[in-house]
Amino acid sequence: MPEEITPILAELDTYDTKEYANNTYYLGHYHGHELVIAYSKIGKVFSTLTATVMIEHFGAEVLLFSGVAGGGSADVQVGDIVVATQTVQHDIDITAFGRQKGEIPGSKVFIETCQRLTSKLKEAANTHGIALKEGVIATGDQFIHSKEVKEMIVKHFNAQAIEMEGASVNLVCHELNIPCVILRAISDTADGQAVDDFPQFVEKAAKQSATLILSLVRLL
Ligand code: ADE
């Protein structure tokens, strides 16, 4: 969402914009790194497109994903920040043919993120006095706003956070050998309260996530 990249753009002195595949890509420099910044638009299809364009068209060598998510397991609350160790597509269901929930033939249920970047991110968070939570981030093409659905996802995948883009971005990176980190600040708890909480907390959560991503860039 635009709210998720505005705080990043605000930190750059100048940047160019390039239109590609109906999206705007912002090209700038930050602490000796060339950055390509875009919001992916919502959902797995758009985020797959955006990640692929960043890598294949703009030549991105590392992908850092920042944004907001619904909280997963009970100890993850609004304001917490979660980094993915693994991602899963919670809405993939070919169980009718004996596959596990989340499994796509030729791929894996859980896909690891880059351990080196995740460690660096934890280091960056420490400098802000923030202890990151880490674990599985579950992705699907639904905004989850029901206790029952959330509990199913959490129980099945042990998800720390639930959102709509991380697994597709991480999958693109995994298939193309690009190191990837997925960071999410919690804007709601994906239950009956989510529709009220999300608009209230999205901006603050997005800013927290963006601040940490830029701190990570400074450490690279
Ligand atoms: N992103 C932020 N909150 C979310 C939720 N409850 N479900 C899916 N994606 C989200």
Is residue 159 within 6 Å of ligand 1 at its C-beta?
A: no
- CA–centroid distance, residue 189 to ligand 1 (Å): 8
Cβ(69) to ligand 1 under 6 A? yes
Rounded Cα gap, residues 18 and 10, in angstroms: 17
Q: Which residues contact 98 (CB under 8 A, 6 or more apart)?
A: none
What pLDDT does residue 73 have? 95
Q: Which of 4, 8, 24 is nearest to 16 (CA)?
A: 24
Mean pLDDT, rounded, of the chain? 95
pLDDT digits (tens, 9 = 90+) for 156-207: 999 999 999 999 999 999 999 999 999 999 999 999 999 999 999 888 888 8
What are the tens digits of pLDDT across the range 73-95?
Answer: 999 999 999 999 999 999 999 99
For 177, list phi and psi in degrees, rounded to 5.
60, 45
Q: How far is the CA of 174 from the centre of ligand 1 (A)?
A: 23
Which member of 103, 134, 163, 188 is catalytic? Answer: 188
pLDDT recorded at residue 44: 98
- What does the pLDDT look like over 114-124, one tens digit per residue? 999 999 999 99
Residue nearest to atom 9 of ligand 1 (CA): 163
Percentage of the chain with pLDDT > 70? 100
Ligand 1 in reach of 214 Cβ (< 6 A)? no
- State which H helix or E strand residue 117 sits in: helix 115-127
DSSP 79: T
Please give the ipTM for the structure prediction. 0.99
